[in-house]
Structure 1
Amino acid sequence: MSLASTSLEYIAYFSEIVLAIIIGLAVGAVVMWIGGYDPWQAYYQLFVPSLTTPYGIYMTLSFATPIILTGLTFAIGVRAGLFNIGAEGQMYMGALGAVLYGAVSLPFFAYLPMEFLTGILLAVLWGFIAGWLKAYKGVNEVVSTIMLNWIAYWIVETMRVYVIPNPIDASKTVSVPPSGRLPLLIPNTELSVGYIIAVLAAVLMYFILWKTVIGYEIRVVGYNPTAARYAGINVRKVALYSFILGGVTSGLAGVCEVAGRPPSYAITTGLSNLVNLGFDGLTVSLVGANHPLGIILSSILIGAMKAGSRNMQIFAHVPLEMVQTVQGIIIIALSVPGVVRLIIRRIRR
């Protein structure tokens, strides 16, 4: 595919995204107007402070951090022709690997390396299970990853309640020790070094997918697995590689979220500080054209919506249920172009 045709394809895609944003905002405005709320004031509070004020920008980037990483998990799978929605469960396992060290005594310099190592290994293991089932048993990855997501949820929740509970606050696990926490980029905010890690991970995944042999094989299999097989590419191994790479990025998301977001630095009741970050990553990937660099940009939009939801409630007096409804409408509208392209691509394959 030529550079010109690729550029035109991305221009067309992002034109669709702009149209989807307009449609989503319009439908959301109608819903708020019917509910008796001022759409202009609500949208102002949802987007403007989050994207124009220093504190709002810091919060937007902090919310963008984990969904960049979970978005990469989905994008890598799509590039391999797979619908990997297991980022949620893999992220849970990564977070568990980080908080485990809140109950262990280690030299101060060993906490962060061990948290990342353990979190990534647990997440990769979770991704490997789904990859092996797909590659060698023909199990549909959608079914296996959904089931593994729930298994991971209950494993982590059981650990929170019975194995590593906080003796002072039963609503969360033990906290990551101070020497195991990621430094904050801006004091008195929630923006940590995790954002830099997420951006570097996206750049690294771009390099792997477009500049290495394994990345080339992943993309060839995604375009046409039959042709890839005739070309001598081991399609089974490519499926495993994509799930392993996805496990790495989701594991990073779990570690960065619990080790880099104050104030709790722990996993809370019902995994409330982690739930849906994997599925938000799916949206981010679709909006970003399943491209690692596009994901960095699209995560800012979704992160701004998450950061602005508080302002929408406090200053525009829109209740949480209506905020979530409007955000859901916008996110669905944003996801439609990407979903349609995935369906068309799957039919062609």
Structure 2
Amino acid sequence: MKSSGSEILRKLNVKAFIESLIAIFVGFIIGAIVMYAFGYDAIKAYEGLFTGALGSIDGIAATLDYSTPIMLTALTFAIGTRTGIFNIGAESSFYFGAIAAVIFTNLWDNMWFGLIMGMVLGALWALPAAVLKVYRGVHEVISTIMLNWIGWYFVLYLIVGPYANPQDPNKTIRIPEAARLPLIGDTTLSWGFIIAVIAAIFTYFLLWHTGLGFGMRVSGQNPRAAEYGGINPKMAVMWSFIIGGIMSGLGGAIKIMGGYPGYAISQGGANIYGLGFDGIGVSLVGRNHPLGIILSAIFFGMLRAGTSTMQATAQVPLEIVRVIQGIIVITVAVPGLLDLIKKAFGRGSQ
């Protein structure tokens, strides 16, 4: 008896999940070998990692809090890969989402206004790369890298210039209290995490249960076949950039509006820099699937939240901790990266 399409898809998802678990195990083993080679107790170090990240309410809150923005930037990259593009512009759309939250909540101290304007500016900043790709054939990696730097320096000017806090030179003006995302219980975790999870579920529904999402995925697998079937691959790419920009812009707004205790962008942009690039790794670990990204973002958050306890428990220097974390992330990302390479070569041979 032939398997239905849903059964096949379910089997593939289970296979991918098992591969990711094996990769995680291998990553932790390699990390342990490195620690023992430098004379540190790997068992104590990993005990500290899990205790710090999952051993208390505050630890779990920190894990989920860090997972929130990278969950959304990972969706940007995943949407791009499903449409056949390598969009690494989440970084600059994230910047614009963050500065939009600062600017517009101070114009009108409303939480929803800040989130919406973060999404709008994130999407608008993604448009130049989309237009260059669709109408001039400029490769998205080149355009998004250049736009990332343009966006970074422009937002940095706003941070240190017109929106600097005159009472505190270490940050921008703060998000008004009425526009801040509420915290969950007595923790540092805001409702931004719930919004991010909803965004991931929405992205899954969009890609797999709507005509627009079907067109985007078909265009990513075979643009010629999509065009033959009445789908406009150019519009699919445009929507991919726009929706991806919305997700990263939302991530930037949530980062600042739910960013207890600062509720501001640090001078130099230290608390917003790099989260767009982190999303690439999160997406690869989640196999570029919106639901897998939820789990992989929490995994990344756990690695980050357990850092200080890992250091304190086994006296492992921060530099070694970062090396171990990097080894684990690279190992876990390999299956997703191989999937991406296979799809790229598959499109090239069509």
- Report the TM-score range of the alignment, normalised by the length of the smaller protein: over 0.9
- Report the equivalent of 2:245: 247
Deviation per CA, 1:249-298: give whole Å up to 9, x if none: 10110000000011111111321111221122111111112111111111
- Amino acid of the residue matched to residue 184 of structure 1? L
Counterparts in 2 of 1:275-286, with a 5 A limit? 275-286=273-284
| Cα distance change on mapping 1:146 and 1:102 into 2, 3 Å | same
Aligned to 1:320: 318
Aligned to 1:185: 184
Q: Give unmatched runs, 5+ long, in structure 2.
A: none
Cα deviations across residues 127-155 of structure 1 (Å, max 9, x unaligned)?
A: 11111111111111111111111111111
Measure, in 1, the Cα distance between the counterparts of 2:145 and 2:5: 37
Could you tell me the TM-score, scaled by structure 1's length?
0.95
Distance 1:55 1:2 in 2: 42
- CA separation in 2, counterparts of 1:185 and 1:224? 44
Alignment of 1:106-125 (within 5 A): 106=108, 108=109, 111-125=110-124
Tell me the TM-score normalised to structure 2 length.
0.95
Deviations 1:216-241 (A, max 9, x none): 10111111111111112111111000
Alpha-carbon shift at residue 102 of structure 1 (Å): 6.0
- Which residue type is aligned with residue 167 of structure 1? P
The AA in structure 2 aligned to 1:16 is: E
Give the residue type in structure 1 aligned to 2:103.
L
Cα distance in structure 2, aligned partners of 1:26 and 1:276: 27
Cα distance in 2 for residues equivalent to 1:154 and 1:167: 21
Aligned to 2:30: 27
CA distance in 2, matches of 1:218, 1:8: 23
Match of 1:96 in 2: 99
What's the secondary structure of 2:314's corresponding residue? coil
Identity %: 47
Which residue identity lines up with residue 99 of structure 2 in the other structure? L
C-alpha root-mean-square deviation of aligned residues, in Å?
1.4
* Distance across 2 between alignment mates of 1:128 and 1:290: 22
3-state SS of paired residue (1:271): coil
Which residue is 1:76 aligned to?
79
- Residue equivalent to 1:173: 172
Contact 2:287-2:335 within 8 A present in 1 as well: no
Structure 1 residues 48-103: Cα deviation after superposition (integer angstroms, max 9, x where no partner):
34124222111111111111111111111111011111111110110010011465
Larger CA deviation: 72-81 vs 44-53: 44-53
**Aligned mates of 1:147, 1:339 — CA distance in 2:** 23
- State the match for 2:228 in structure 1: 230
CA distance in 1, matches of 2:158, 2:144: 21
* Superimposed CA distance per residue, residues 151-192 of structure 1 (whole angstroms, 9 cap, x where no aligned partner): 1111111111111111122121111111111000122x2200
- Picking from 189, 193, 196, the partner of 1:198 is 196
Contact 1:102 1:175 in 2 (8 A): no
Paired residue for 1:62, among 47, 60, 65? 65
> Which residue of structure 2 lines up, in the alignment, with residue 269 of structure 1?
267
Gaps in structure 1 of 5+ consecutive residues:
none
- Give distance in 2, aligned partners of 1:319 and 1:177: 38
Q: Is the 8 A contact 2:118 2:252 kept in 1?
A: yes
Letter in 2 for 1:90: S
Q: Which among 311, 322, 344 is matched to residue 346 of structure 1? A: 344
Distance between the aligned counterparts of 1:343 and 1:271, measured in 2? 33
What stretches of structure 1 move > 4 A for 4+ residues in a row? none
Distance across 1 between alignment mates of 2:145 and 2:188: 30
Residue 278 of structure 1: SS of its match in structure 2? helix
Q: Residues of 2 paired with 1:74 and 1:190: CA distance?
A: 27
